[in-house]
Structure 1
Amino acid sequence: AYLPGELGEFEGKSSRRILKYLLGLYGTKINWSRIEELATFLKLPLDRQMNHLSKGNKQKIGVILALIPDVELLILDEPTSGLDPLITSEVYRLLSEKRADTSCTIFLSSHLLAEVEKVADRVGIIRNGNIAEVATLQDLKGLAMKRVDLLFDESVSEATLRSKIPEHIIEELTVSNTRAYLLVNRGNLNALLKILSDVQFTNIDITSPDLEEIFLKFYHNDPTSSQKEIVTMEES
């Protein structure tokens, strides 16, 4: 099953009639009690005409269309577009439940990287129409970069740190008062730590970057690239 980023217009048709028509194309019995349960939960007015619905409510029709059918593969293009953060969180929870209950594989395209990071098993990043990387979140974070946060007793200047750290060692360096934030390729981490052993700081914290930082790294050298990412939630 496929859910586009935006449903076509069904002028003069209610949410109920649209769902009945589109779900009827599967040729299986429609579980109306489940539809009404989801509509109530998502606060979708089933008997209101589509042209009188907000963008968010139109998107809820699509969400129900994605959740109801019993399919092996579900492809979703920006499924939470127009939804508020609370409903977005619930939609991802419902999708996770669907996957667990039916072993359905879900392909999800989204620019909401923070939300993607919560639900995806594997991530594929597309750059200029080609797949730049496909990996589990854990592997992608491990292969990409490490974030090094430094805390100093007093304010430190970016120029001072750059004078001590060769440019080829780090990807990014940001200084804010008594804190410095560095992004470093995993292969350069040991070299950076050796250099930092001669720097007077009070605390160091090394973490994996979040998905957004990883994504931006892939586009770092090509800011004109069309930014789009595909996320796959593999079957259990």
Structure 2
Amino acid sequence: MQLIESLDLFNKIKDMLASAERVVTVMTKELSDEIAEILLLKASKGIRVNVITRDTNWADWLESKKSSYGMDEIQHYQKEMNYNLKKERELKILQTILPVTIIGVSVITGLLLFFKLFWIPILPGVIISGILIYYFNRLVHKFDNQIAVLKTMISQRETEIEGIRQEILKNLVVKVNKKVGFTVVIVDGKGIVTPLRLCSKENLQELTFFEELNEEKIKEIFKKLDNSSQ
């Protein structure tokens, strides 16, 4: 048994999980966002992740990621694309309305004020309209490019995310067990047991302890857990 500061042990466990290459098993009463994110990342990388906890909130969150991983990211890109589409539509409307309005005002002004020389105010109206059309064309072209890039990005990212979801679905196993009252972390066959709860750092100000586990101890713990859940 080794005495250790709770925060130091929490960080040690995070490092253990981050170093996993094959299999991770975490049995704990509570989870934190940091630990849950690491476990999710490992599952997405093709590493087998087993989670046993009585923390139903984080258990549900992990389970939901099998179908919803990356959804927020895609929605963000989609929102940005919709914004660009809206701006492009507004520019195309202005590109039509403003030149027509300017030329119309020029013609009316010429007819009312200059009569036979009505073309005098029309000329600057045509010039201004041409400048506006050119300016709006450039802006529309800019938004067209941004929209095309976003469409490609969304398509590629959707494909990548679907692959990640499949990895999470295949590698992540989450079980809720109300009998869990301590923490066991096993990474690639090496494990520790501790009373430490893997929750938020605000609760990690105490002195705690951990004990390293050999293969026999690991089997014994899980055998007892299985028996108690029956």
TM-score (norm 1): 0.26
Structure showing the higher strand proportion among its residues: 1
More helix by share: 2
Q: What TM-score, normalized to structure 2?
A: 0.27
